Amino acid sequence: MMREENEFRLNSQKIAGLEEKWTEITSGLNQVDPSEVIANVRSESKRVDLSEQKIKGLTINLSDNKQLANYIFQDDSTRFGGYLEQRNLYARFPEFNQNEVRNIHLGIDIWTAQDTAVFCPIDAVVQSVRSNEGRGNYGPTIILMHKLSNHTFFTLYGHLSRESIANLCEGQLIKKGQQFATIGTEEENGEWPPHLHFQVILELSNNTGDFPGVCSINDKEFYKVLSPDPNLILRIPA
C-alpha cells in the first residue's frame, strides 16, 4: 500500500466524507435504476458461500479448479456472492500472502459461463483497460468511471476475456445497458473458474488499471468504506 493511502486510511475526516459521498450516490442510483450487469442475474442466480468457515467443513481441494467449479456450479446455475467474505481461496497464490495475508474479498463475484456478456449498469466512461497478469490476478480488467449526484466513482470488472480489452480504449463512452465485455476463460482470467469480479471504488488514489480486490483483516474497515457494497448497483435479491 502506498504512503498516500496509509495517510488516507488514518484520516477519519476523509473516511466520513467518503461515507457521505456514497450515501448521496446511493440516492442517485435509486433514480437511474441500474441495468443488470449479467443478463437475468437478479432472477436466475443463487448465492454461493466461499467463506473460510463454510469451505473448511467440505472435502474440496481449493488448488483444483475442477473441484472448486463443481462446488460453485452444483446445478449449472449462475452463482453470486462474496462481499467482505473471509476466504482461504487465495492461500494457493503466494502473491496474496507476501506481507499480510489478504483474504477479505472486496467485490461481488458472479460465477457464470465463459463468454457470457457483461453489460454497463449506468452511463460511464472507460477509465482504464489493462491485463493484470499472474496466477490469482484479475487477468483482463476494465475500470469504468461514473458520475451521479455530482460525485465521480468507479466500477471494476475483473477476470474478463482478452477480446474485451482489445475492443475498448480509455475515454470511450459506454451507455447504460450496453454490452462492453465478456467473461474470460481460466487460461486468461488468472486461473479461476469463469466469473466476473464486480467492485465499487469511490476513489482510485494513485491506482490505474488495477485496484485491490482483497485486503487483510487489518485493512477491512478502511477498504469497506473505499469499496462499499456493490449490490446497491447489482440489486441481486438476497
Q: What is the pLDDT of residues 118-132, one digit of tens each?
A: 999 999 999 999 999
| pLDDT of 112 strictly over 80 | yes
Give domain limits for the chain.
Answer: 3-234
**Pairing, β 139-148 against β 151-158:** antiparallel
% of the chain residues with pLDDT over 70: 94
**Residue 149 is which amino acid?**
S
Q: What's the pLDDT tens digit per position in 166-186?
A: 989 999 999 999 999 999 999
DSSP letter (8 states) at residue 219: G
Alpha-carbon span 139 to 184, nearest angstrom: 8
Q: Which three cell numbers stand for residue 149?
A: 449526484
For 5, how many CA atoms within 13 A lie in the half-sphere containing its CB? 13
Burial of 219 (0-12, 13-18, 19+ CB in 10 A): buried
Mean pLDDT over residues 149-165, rounded? 98
Which residue spans within the chain are E strands per DSSP? 45-47, 78-81, 104-105, 108-111, 117-119, 124-132, 139-148, 151-158, 173-174, 179-182, 195-201, 214-215
Tell me the pLDDT of the chain averaged across its residues: 91
Fold that domain 3-234 belongs to in CATH: Glucose Permease (Domain IIA) (2.70.70)
Q: What's the pLDDT tens digit per position in 198-212?
A: 999 999 988 889 999
Q: What's the pLDDT tens digit per position in 16-69?
A: 999 999 999 999 999 999 999 999 999 999 999 999 999 887 888 888 889 999
pLDDT band at 1 (very low <50, low <70, confident <90, very high): very low
Strand partners, 176: none
Q: What's the pLDDT tens digit per position in 61-108?
A: 888 889 999 999 988 889 999 999 999 887 777 766 667 888 999 999
* pLDDT computed for residue 4 by the predictor: 45
| pLDDT of 2 strictly over 50 | no
